[in-house]
Structure 1
Amino acid sequence: MRNTILVFLFFILFLNQANAQSTTSFKDNRWFDYKKYSNNFYSKPVHEQAEVIVSEDSIITHLGSKIIRYKIKGVTDVATKNKSSREYKVDNNGTELTVSISRTMETYFGKKRRIAWISGGTDGWIVMSPLTSITPIGYLFPGDAKIDIEAERARIVGYYDYDLMRRVDAEAYRNAGATSYDLLIWTDDKCKKDVQIELRADNTGTWWYGSTAKDCPNKAEQNFKWKLDHVVVEGRQAMRLTLTSDESNEYIIDELTDKKLSLGGQFRIGDKDDTTSDGYLVLSKKKKK
């Protein structure tokens, strides 16, 4: 009898763990009543704990003490240049509606952050969950490719030359459209643009400064070992490039293609050589001369 009880308890524990692993939770400390305040809902948040739990067959929404349960009848992924949304056709006690989860930006206390915008459709509720408040971390929105770190380690090997500097990441730069020109960091100093990086297959590399432009006063050559890791940054799956010589420098891979490498991190991008700022260094893959 005792063994039967233990087996039963183990089975329940296994089911609970399996269910926990197959659900995604989106949390925030407020929600919005779009049905009640349709014209100015964002200025009238409801300051209650909110959570949306999505499983394979249901969506459970907690809005303070209120709980709404939906049965999922179908899922459609929408991935375009300007939109990444997962739309669920659901049933709520015989009423069909659409619950959507989209990735977008929010200005929160003066600072922009990426969020999951979750809309209850005709039920009129909205939850805005920071990507860092999604469990498990690294949620994949439509259009996001799962990172194959071994393939990316092979792809990144090569010789790169300076292309440009940006103030924002590749996604924000693409979405800026006609104003993207203002997001570039310009310099007339040919030596500051004289940057080459080689990443070799044996995980060694070299970074050159001022080696090809004429009369650069601070020519430099730095050898290092490199490592590419799969990480989660601000709730998004990403890759981190670590360059180690006498000290280590870390950069987040902003973009990696067969022709381009974009690194996000701290760079000396202003007129002062002794200060660094956040930026994105974009490099083009070239044949080494």
Structure 2
Amino acid sequence: MRARPSFARSVAAAAASAVVVVALVFTAGGASAAPSYPAKMAALGDSITQAATTCSSLSSCPANSWSTGTNTTVQSHATRLRLAGDTGLVAYNDAVSGAASAALPGQAATAVSQGAQYVTIEMGANDACTSSVSTMTPTATFQANVTAALTTLRNAGTAHIFVASIPSLMRLYNLEKGSFSARFVWALLGVCKSMLANPTSTSAADVARRAAVQQRVDDFNAVLAAACQAVTTCTWDKGAVANYAFSKSEISTTDYFHPSLTGQASLARITWAVSPWVS
């Protein structure tokens, strides 16, 4: 006659089986699946995303854009997605040179109409770069514009939204203020007067003016971070662009303000590193 297993052995075996089952359930349910590739993407923003000055003049050159550009030297987000296997990706560049945050809700609506499943946003430099400190966009207005745009994208079910921070205007000033060529071009073209006017002046008023402009940029970045973090499908760049120390080779010598071709490649690299497909 065969001996029956003891009660203790039966309980132990059952417990072990239960542990295995629970582990399998948690492994299957807890594993984070890689984000699906988008069929379409769109870039929102201003002249930075239009890659202005990277061709032969002050005009836009979207082929060199950090977001949707096709120039393999830049290795844009669109290029990296295609290289990763998203070969059928269609990319739209809806950014407009000179645009400020007031244009962002409309750009978001355009991206929705295009069926974009991945949307990048780089906006805010023109809200701080105005004729004077008094004409900068109020932070509350900037917040309303950004929130409206993200709400449009969220309500449309946009799968992935990426928000890049605004570059440091003070760092740009400090990098180029010693260059006669930069100072000449800034004055000739009236580039970002709120920050770059009277670049050699060390008067208390001018020092305070520059600090006020950079503070507004910092405030805008705080708005972008909070607004993005409130949307589950949005990825914030964690200040990657704001904290990046651009070198002179990464700044265009056409206006000593916009990213050069090398700068666009750097933007693509540092933002891709914190994109939904990497971070």
TM interval, shorter chain, is under 0.3
Higher-helix-fraction structure: 2
TM-score by length of 1: 0.25
TM-score by length of 2: 0.26
Higher-strand-fraction structure: 1
Larger relative contact order (CA 8 Å, sep ≥ 6)? 2
